[in-house]
């Protein structure tokens, strides 16, 4: 069985979710739902050595993941300060990657919806 290239692997997972679009952002494939970005592909961004994805994470999850598995998870530049987590693609199985991406998708969808409701009140 032929192994998929990393971006195809990420794309296949992201495109199973509803209302997803892919656009280039800062030169990298980036996946959006109707509410915003939920996955960014990292193809050795600025020669950082990572072939990974960056995803938003629930409060406290970034620290827990990095603390438990620092070879797999990392704090990405730019968005890491907002709780996003980087995931080394070579170090996770498809099932784990898909679960993280689905959680990121749901987090962005729910976060934006809550913000919109607060503004209407």
CA angle 106, 49, 75 (to 5 degrees): 40
Sequence-distant (≥ 6) Cβ neighbours of residue 117 within 8 angstroms: none
Please state the domain extents for the chain. Answer: 6-115
- Residues in a beta bridge with 49: none
User: What was the pLDDT predicted at 111?
Assistant: 74
Series of mean pLDDT values for 10-residue runs along the chain (121 residues): 84 96 94 96 90 96 97 95 96 97 95 49 45
CATH of 6-115, one of 3.90.1150.30, 3.40.50.970, 3.40.640.10, 3.40.50.720: 3.90.1150.30
User: What was the pLDDT predicted at 116?
Assistant: 45
Is the pTM for the entire model greater than 0.85?
yes
């Amino acid at each position: 069985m032929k192994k998929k290239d990393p971006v195809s692997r990420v794309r296949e997972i992201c495109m199973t979710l509803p209302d997803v679009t892919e656009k280039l952002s800062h030169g990298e494939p980036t996946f959006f739902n109707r509410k915003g970005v939920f996955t960014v592909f990292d193809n050795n961004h600025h020669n950082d050595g990572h072939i990974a994805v960056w995803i938003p994470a629930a409060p406290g999850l970034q620290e827990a993941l990095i603390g438990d598995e620092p070879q797999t998870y990392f704090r990405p530049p730019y968005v890491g300060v907002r709780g996003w987590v980087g995931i080394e693609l070579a170090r996770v199985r498809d099932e784990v990657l898909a679960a993280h991406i689905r959680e990121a998708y749901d987090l962005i969808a729910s976060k934006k919806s809550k913000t919109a409701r607060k503004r209407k009140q």
